[in-house]
Amino acid sequence: MSNTDRQYDLVVWGATGVAGRLVAEHLTAQYTPETLEFALGGRNENRLRELEADLIAQSEAWEELPVVIGDATEPDSLREIAHSTRVVCTTVGPYTTYGTGLVEACIDAGTDYCDLTGEVNWIREIVDRYHDEAVEAGSRIVHSCGFDSIPADLATLLVQSYAASEFDVPCELVRLYLEDGEGGVSGGTAASIATVFEAASTDPLARQALSNPYSLAPPGERSGVDPGEQRLPRYDPLCSAWTAPSPMAPMNERVIRRSNALLGYPWGREFRCSEVVPTTSGPLGLVSAGAIAGGLGLGTMALSVGPIRSTLQQFAFPDPGEGPTRAEIENGHFTVRALGRGTATDGPFVLRAEISADRDPGYGATAQMLGEAAMCLVFEETDSPLSGGILTPASGIGLPLADRLRDVGLTVTVGERSRPTE
């Protein structure tokens, strides 16, 4: 069966979870049965039918939604899902625990795939085991299509594409600023964070993936000039403020370096990127940056210790299936700004891109990002030169994703520092 003869355009697997439900809501609100053949996927038919009833009650356009059953522990069921659809979008995590079977099934079926993983150790394993097979099968496996790592990866692509078209040279540095953000954490995300720390404590390859800034680059290309994520407060002349380490830097920076590598190094082999949290320019800015760095360091230390990690999971973190309230999702927001510094023949330039949303970054806005990344794959709206492989949002989809995100209400701008354009 060719990829175009499938029963569905898209299956959302994990639709009964916190993020999956929001993705399904986003799709039923934005699209109609005339424009999208999509099915709800999960392991429990009753829960899927309840979700179907809720979605139909909220929607004027949808009168029924097919459900497909697949359990991560039953490879045949994953093969059936992968063969039933052109694209699978999965929110079944932790991906280290549940994700590999579906990737394998999608490659086997030549099906496109996108997910929400922020688990560097797992992506590295998938890259090493499956990249060549996915290229051969023409299967686009696009990881990290949520708050990790679309804003950072796409903002970098926007800045670099602008630099190429206006100045004919790439930026040698792109720095990402997690400027403001308010949102919650779900049990699924907490479990995934714990899984990464667990892997780092037991598996030397996972430790390597987390310590090498180039660990997601192709094998043989895993070194370079970039020193990796910032760990201490630092004054940043580019944004004229003190900055602290960003909790998402270990993930987002590696994804951006993989984008550059997969695209054939259009931003140069000397390209550097970093993600930070900016504070202010004066002594108070230093104090705030110090407090953020200290808090992050303490959190990392605590999660690295097995018994503390288990205790936090048992008593402090939400359980799988629990997440932010509707009010928290609707009142949340985030802004990620990118500044790119380059040198043209007539002197230096600084570019700026911004991606922001007025919803909780990890759930409300993530559902929009994952849903629209999936739609880019469904409708072949990509400007990527890559027709298969283990890909990133920038390398596997590219700028058409920016247009789709604008269409669903996110702010996405790019321009020279003083005059941003749509």
Which of residues 20 and 388 has its CB atom nearest to ligand NAP in the complex? Answer: 20
CA–CA separation, 125 and 185 (whole Å): 25
The one among 32, 35, 58, 73 contacting ligand NAP by CB under 6 A: 73
3-state SS assignment for residue 175: strand
Residue 140 β-bridge partners: 389
CA–CA separation, 413 and 133 (whole Å): 36
| Shortest distance (Å) from residue 381 CB to ligand NAP | 21
Which of residues 75 and 218 has its CB atom nearest to ligand NAP in the complex? Answer: 75
Which region holds residue 110: left if phi is over 0, alpha if psi is between -120 and 50, else beta? left
268 binds ligand NAP (CB under 6 A): no
CA–CA separation, 380 and 87 (whole Å): 11
CA–CA separation, 77 and 47 (whole Å): 17
| Shortest distance (Å) from residue 79 CB to ligand NAP | 14
CA–CA separation, 200 and 211 (whole Å): 10
CA–CA separation, 344 and 109 (whole Å): 46
Among 153-161, 173-181, 186-194, 347-355, which window interacts with ligand NAP (CB under 6 A)? 186-194
121 binds ligand NAP (CB under 6 A): no
Strand order in the sheet with 112-115: 67-69, 38-42, 8-13, 85-90, 112-115, 140-142, 389-391
Residues 300-359 that bind ligand NAP (CB under 6 A): 320-321, 323
The one among 139, 160, 186, 384 contacting ligand NAP by CB under 6 A: 186
16 binds ligand NAP (CB under 6 A): yes
Which of residues 242 and 317 has its CB atom nearest to ligand NAP in the complex? Answer: 317
- Give the sign of the dihedral formed by CA 68, CA 117, CA 151, CA 163: negative
Among 40-48, 201-209, 227-235, 260-268, which window interacts with ligand NAP (CB under 6 A)? 40-48
202 binds ligand NAP (CB under 6 A): no
Amino acid at 143: H
Among 122-130, 184-192, 301-309, 348-356, which window interacts with ligand NAP (CB under 6 A)? 184-192
The one among 28, 246, 288, 366 contacting ligand NAP by CB under 6 A: 366
3-state SS assignment for residue 219: coil
254 binds ligand NAP (CB under 6 A): no
75 binds ligand NAP (CB under 6 A): no
What values do phi and psi take at 106, rounded to 5?
-65, -40
96 binds ligand NAP (CB under 6 A): no
376 membership: H or E segment, kind and range: helix 366-378
Contact criterion met (CB below 8 Å) for 361 and 340: no
Task: Give the per-residue contact string, 148-177, with ligand NAP (x = CB under 6 A; - = no).
Answer: x-----------------------------
420 binds ligand NAP (CB under 6 A): no
Instruction: Name the residue with tokens 């009964």.
Output: 16
The one among 324, 362, 371, 396 contacting ligand NAP by CB under 6 A: 362
List the beta strands (DSSP E) in 67-210.
67-69, 85-90, 112-115, 140-142, 173-182
Residues interacting with ligand NAP, by CB under 6 A? 14, 16-20, 42-44, 47, 71-73, 91-95, 98, 116, 118, 146-148, 186-189, 192, 320-321, 323, 362, 366
